[in-house]
A and B are shown apart, each in its own frame.
Chain A
Amino acid sequence: MDFGFNQEQELLRATARKFFESECPSEFVRARMAEPAGVTDAFWAKLAEQGWLGLVYPEQYGGAGLGFVDLTVLMEEMGRAVMPGPFFSTVLLGGLTILEAGSEAQKQEWLGKISAGEAKVALAFTEPNARWDAAAVTVTARESGGGFTVSGTKLFVLDAHLADVLVVVARTREGKRPEEGLSLFLVPRSARGVDVKLLPTMDQTRKLCEVTFADVAVGADALLGPRDGAWSALSRVLDRATVSLCAEMCGGAQRVLDMTTDYAKIRIAFGKPIGSYQGVKHKAADMLVEIENAKSLTYYAAWAMDENVPEAPLAASMAKAYVSDAFRKAAGTGIQLHGGIGFTWEHDLHLYFKRAKSSEFSFGDATWHRERVAQLINL
């Protein structure tokens, strides 16, 4: 047993930290917040050059063939930098779904392009009902003229406005259970009848869209994976994305703790650094304990994904439940311990505070995942 990172992973961490410190400083993040794209072509090309866009894809599709434990390291560093842009949507939602469900030809076509930074893909799954389970899906795809007609509305779709193609989860058949009768389709964003509306968001580093499908006609070759049987692949993607998000959240939480302890060492009140007061010190200690636990659950879940152990979904839900609370609390405490300066737009803390909030409600919040844990341990 070895519950630590190996040398290559530590090297990846050091490389990534240096990269984001120089390529993704606060000024870069803030500039991207203010504009729709959320990324620059130059930055995206650099991510591709590092090999990070295809990190977890097999080598035959242009990837680096690494695993989720490796990805965890990279995601922590991205979270530390509150990196904006469509990495998560393209690599971990759209791309992973193609990897899990796609035909050989579809994988060949898309994963290589994603890895090279030449294509962006979004996953259109959630809807106005704001659910994260299979019952979320009411968008339909009816068979017509040798292809399908997609109709309905998707909401909270990450980076749909930037995507070349959307992976759309649609209902092709009413089943006995909500998990039955779901299918995946590759729909070009430019297809007739697709309307993408960028929504103003609290966390401006995450761009969310409403996507309407007004009887969009697609060919039979748009089908991704088995007809009516998309859920097993999709749920695997959601678990993997959830764990990767947890890693990103851990990185953000750790950064908040670092900022807060640095500040508590130099900020003087009543003649002493505020970090010498137990009212401050004990809060920082609480943050540390929760962040360490958050990391432990996340690392274990990443390992469980790589090894495909039976309790991988349970591990994912345990991590997301814990990390959602831990990051939210850490970000809130960070602002509190900074005092007034922490509440300013100028200080970076609010970027983390808002990222904590948007992450908390992505892929199910703590309450949702605790209930899933309850089910998975047969409560």
Chain B
Amino acid sequence: MDFTLTPDQQAFRERVRSWLKANVPPEWKVLATTEVPRAEAYEIIRRWQGKLYEGGFIGITWPKEYGGQGLTFIEEMILHEEMALQKAPPILNILGVGMAGPTIIAYGTEEQKKRYPAKILSCEEIWCQGYSEPNSGSDLAALQTRAVKDGDHYVINGQKVWTSLAHVADWMMLLARTDPDAPKHKGITYFLLDMHAPGVTVKPLKQITGDAEFNEVFFDNVRVHERQILGGLNNGWAVGLTTLMYERLALGFGLQVRLRIALESLIEMGRRVEKTGRVVTRDPLLRQKLAQLWIDTEALKYTGARAITKLLKGELPGPEASAGKMGWVETHQKLQELAMEIEGPYSQLTKGSDRAIDGGLWQYGFLRSRANSIEGGTTEIQKNIIGERVLGLPKG
């Protein structure tokens, strides 16, 4: 057990630190009470991601020949720690960087690996994830979107839903059924789908926040070439699960960082907001709650570090990534609830009121956080995965 860094890693930390100091965009205020970028910030964070790419501070663990830095998860962790300390903005192409890229690198042909990952990192091409459908959410393998072979193409018909970023995306990680007669897990194929292809229609859905950051996506005879298959015909379930494991693992880094940023903002608010006649940070009960959040956040960090140690020893991200996702969700929702509790009646005032605390930022964060336990696999599904695949309990 050793948390000390090698001289090279220490030097990397110094380099990251000074680069961030010089490059975090001044127009970026701490809008980040949530992990998901809002539409109003898209342009800032699109440029920010471009800068990260130019500076060599994204795709840390991806191979150099595909646009990455060829470094280890240690450097990735250092980078994220420094970003938390300097309250750096999130990136725009979160699904591309967190999921599409690693999955393409893991399963792609040489041609695919040369074509896609670098443009994901530079934010030239934004990705979304076509998994959930109106009739298959948690039961993902029941998906009904069809892909029917026609020469060297497949013809896609069907619908996806809750598709974040589809309205700005260039590409989609699409799961579609290629063999309707096979058992449900065995007839699915993973396609890299051009969102600009004829027959793709995106309709934004308004969320409880009032924003429309996720969408319905309709496919009407969309033609996709068979070279756009990732990881082989009818192998989509395995490929898709890999994506989900990376997604949950990515939470260990990026989202833990945003959690820390949000917590520090919350504590900072607690120092200036009064409740029953004294500032929040002097209230014994609220001190308890803030301290518990601090502890929970640190626990997630160290549980993440244990997972990284496993990765460094050559093991793949496994079902324990579900535990990290669950822990993050619980902590983040608790944090957002506490923000409302601290604000009291002020929690009712939103953006547009000059009486609203912090311009009504926390109200958005609070509402947005309700999705955390649903998106990327519901908490109930994560618990099934932990129960069955980690603890070995029988399936229901």
Contact = CB atoms under 8 A, between A and B. Distances in A.
Interface of A: 1-6, 69, 257, 261, 264-265, 272-273, 275-278, 280-282, 284-286, 288-289, 292-297, 299-300, 302-303, 307, 318, 321-322, 367, 370-371, 373-374, 377, 379
B327 interface: yes
Contacts of B309: 1-4
Interface in B121-144: none
Contacts of B294: 318, 373, 377
A261 B391 contact: yes
Contacts of B277: none
Contact of A321 (B1, B267, B295): B295
A276 B281 CA distance: 44
B387 A275 contact: yes
B396 A288 contact: no
Contact of B288 (A4, A292, A367): A367
Interface string B183-221: 000000000000000000000000000000000000000
Contact of B383 (A282, A367, A377): A282
Given A289-B326, A297-B298, 4 more contacts: A1-B9, A3-B309, A285-B326, A292-B320
Contacts of A278: 380, 383-384, 396
Given A1-B5, A285-B387, A296-B299, A277 B291 contact: no
A293 B5 CA distance: 23
- The SS class assigned to the B binding surface is helix
B267 to A, nearest CB: 7
Nearest to B290: A379
A241 B387 CA distance: 33
Nearest to B303: A296
B168 interface: no
Given A1-B74, A2-B2, A289-B326, A276 B395 contact: yes
A361 B4 CA distance: 33
Contacts of B326: 285, 289
Interface string B309-343: 11011000000100100110000000000000000
Contact of B390 (A273, A288, A299, A371): A288
A264 B12 CA distance: 48
Nearest to A5: B1
A293 B306 CA distance: 10
Nearest to A261: B391
11 contacts: A2-B2, A3-B302, A288-B391, A292-B303, A293-B300, A297-B302, A318-B298, A322-B299, A367-B288, A370-B295, A373-B294
Contact of B387 (A6, A282, A371): A282
B386 interface: yes
B394 A265 contact: yes
Contacts of B310: 4
B291 A297 contact: no
Given A289-B326, A321-B291, A4 B396 contact: no
A3 B394 contact: no
A133 to B, nearest CB: 16
B1 A284 contact: no
B299 A370 contact: no
A377 B299 CA distance: 15
A350 B294 CA distance: 32
A13 B394 CA distance: 29
Contacts of A276: 393-396
Contacts of B391: 257, 261, 275, 281, 284-285, 288
A277 B1 contact: no
Contacts of A282: 380, 383-384, 387
A300 B303 CA distance: 10
B303 A281 contact: no
Interface string B372-384: 0000000010111
A285 B386 contact: yes
Contact of B384 (A273, A281, A321): A281
Given A281-B384, A282-B387, A289 B327 contact: yes
Contacts of B295: 297, 318, 321-322, 370, 373
Nearest to B326: A289
Contacts of B4: 1, 307
Given A4-B309, A370-B292, A379 B267 contact: yes
Contacts of B327: 289, 293
A288 B292 CA distance: 19
A2 B307 CA distance: 10
A213 to B, nearest CB: 35
Contacts of B74: 1
B273 interface: no
Nearest to A315: B298
